[in-house]
Structure 1
Amino acid sequence: MSKEKLDAEALWSDLEAVRERAPLVHSITNLVVMNFNANALLAVGASPVMAHAHEEVREMVGIADALVLNIGTLEPDWIRAMQLALRSALTRAIPVVLDPVGAGATPYRDQALVELLETGSPTVLRGNASEILSMGGLAGGTRGVDSSAVSDAAVFAARGLARELGCVVCISGADDHIVDAGGRHVTLSNGHPWMTRVTGVGCSASALIGAFAAVQPDPWRATVAAMACLGVVGELAVERTQAAGAGVGRLQIKLLDGLQLLDREAFAERLTMIEHA
């Protein structure tokens, strides 16, 4: 486990590694966000594949550098595909990111998460505060796939989940919190509320974590780097969108542009990060 102090330069080097190595990220994700997630991965420099057929999912995991599982639009065949992919990823010891979209919203969704966790623990669990509270067995008040809780309120649950599952837990929100089983905790405070008005941004965060975890062996640091990148990009994208007198439709394009064109100076200048002792 890395004990080095994180700073903008260390996190920037992880983004450079994604751009240089173009990791293949296999996503079994939801129908609403599939296109945007794939484009976000391409923009940051990674290579996406979106495959969920039982007949090929294990072979696809066999050539991937990371696996991302997103339960947004569930149905039985997709749950089974996720289980097959998860087993293959664990066998290969490649990083797995689980996005528990809408956890707590319905018994069916919760049962799907139970079945996935019985198959194996992810490397990284990323969700909003309500989802993480629900995953921790607390009353999070999930409303559809949106969060009715602030991210700070879920930190205690996240720490418990990290210890129980032996994984990194990321809570996304106005402040992003990233914790691991060893007690490390970083808070990131970039981004903008407009990012919540474009569908797929949160799910793209999970996809980006997969890309960063594919090139950075410390999954906690990889998660911090991915969330820092998206937060800074989102902040800048909103400012540029507003300056053009445009709205959230244009923001989608600015987000993708930002993931491709973000430079070292802007990242270091904008990054707002607290590494807790």
Structure 2
Amino acid sequence: MNSIDYWNDLEELRRRKPLIHHLMNFVAMNDAANITLALGASPIMAHAAEEVEELVSIAGALYINIGTLDREWIESMLMAGRAANKNGVPVLLDPVGAGASRLRTETARRILAEVEISIVKGNGGEIMALAGRSGLTKGVDSLGEAEMDVVDLVAREFGATTVATGPVDHVSNLKQRAEVMNGTPMLQLVTGSGCMLGSVMSSFLATSRDPFKAAIEGLVAFEVAAETAVEGSDGPASFKVRLIDEVYKLNKDSFARAKVRIL
């Protein structure tokens, strides 16, 4: 995408080191923190209702990931989201497992209704669940790919730049649409790879404040790193370690591998 200067934007991110406030699941929390640091931003993982409003006020972006849910966490997510809106902090929502249970789907839709979300990012099944299509998830895994018309539907209903990941990633804010064709199937074998992508995308969002641009930058940076990481890896475990290293090693030449099409 010629209008995006990936390298200069990444250099700016690394210079500013924005604080990314994560409210996210236990399964991927450590990996998300490490990928955020490797990219050049600064992570904090804080869920307590007593401090989320204070912390989000100094953050560059808020990343809400609903992978771990209970009543207290849901309230913290809503409090943090409202505080982010009040303080002009952009919010990324990852509706992990939407469609797998009523709690997850209703929580995601409630956050979207009560908080101004800059980016909603999910796999195909999760985005289809938000669009009212059911039966397309197995736990937190997608059983289908969301086409652009479904992505448009979610973007229209909730007023957020919407990202559906898959073999081809679809991005839409209704005014602009793009497809990103980077990545590797090995990402499907690493728990929390989508959560790590959310951290990378949130870091770009904190820097650019342009949700459509940040979504594409996050996808490209994470997925070109994954393409390099899979070369020479022996399986999912070594791939994950190499992925964090390759995010750390991203440079100007890395982005020559970007495969982005504007529709």
- Report the TM range for the smaller structure's normalisation: over 0.9
- How many residues are paired up? 263
Partner of 2:255: 267
- Check conservation: 1:14, 1:222, Cα contact below 8 A: no
* 5+ long unaligned stretches in structure 2: none
Structure 1 residue 21 corresponds to structure 2 residue 8: no
Alignment of 1:73-112 (within 5 A): 73-112=68-107
Partner of 1:128: 123
Matched residue type, 2:187: M
Shift of 1:118: 2.9
- Check conservation: 1:67, 1:97, Cα contact below 8 A: yes
Moved over 3 A (4+): none
Shift of 1:8: 8.0
Q: Which moved more, 1:139-148 or 1:125-134?
A: 139-148
Partner of 2:221: 229
Matched residue type, 1:237: A
- Check conservation: 1:95, 1:122, Cα contact below 8 A: yes
* 5+ long unaligned stretches in structure 1: 1-5
Alignment of 1:9-158 (within 5 A): 10-150=5-145, 153-158=146-151
CA distance in 1, matches of 2:196, 2:96: 12
> What CA deviation, in whole Å up to 9, does each residue of 1:45-75 have, x standing for no partner?
0000000001101001011110000001111
CA distance in 2, matches of 1:262, 1:140: 38
Structural RMSD (CA): 1.3
Shift of 1:140: 5.0
- Please give the secondary structure, in 2, of the residue aligned with 1:54: coil
Partner of 1:3: none
- Check conservation: 2:113, 2:158, Cα contact below 8 A: no
Matched residue type, 1:102: G
- Check conservation: 2:37, 2:43, Cα contact below 8 A: yes
Shift of 1:85: 0.0
Matched residue type, 2:196: S
TM-score, normalised by the number of residues in structure 1? 0.92
CA distance in 1, matches of 2:8, 2:155: 26
CA distance in 1, matches of 2:183, 2:113: 34
TM-score, normalised by the number of residues in structure 2? 0.96
Shift of 1:164: 1.9
Matched residue type, 1:260: Y
CA distance in 2, matches of 1:27, 1:98: 10
Shift of 1:273: 1.2
Q: Which moved more, 1:109-118 or 1:224-233?
A: 109-118
Partner of 2:230: 238
> What CA deviation, in whole Å up to 9, does each residue of 1:59-105 have, x standing for no partner?
01011110000001111110000000000001112110000001011
> What CA deviation, in whole Å up to 9, does each residue of 1:232-276 have, x standing for no partner?
0001100131xxxx21111111001001101211321x1111111
CA distance in 2, matches of 1:194, 1:173: 12
CA distance in 2, matches of 1:76, 1:147: 25
Matched residue type, 1:238: V
- Check conservation: 2:197, 2:219, Cα contact below 8 A: yes
Shift of 1:159: 0.4
Structure 1 residue 199 corresponds to structure 2 residue 194: no
CA distance in 2, matches of 1:208, 1:8: 20
Shift of 1:11: 2.2
CA distance in 2, matches of 1:154, 1:135: 13
Matched residue type, 2:125: S
Q: Which has the higher helix share?
A: 1
Structure 1 residue 166 corresponds to structure 2 residue 159: yes
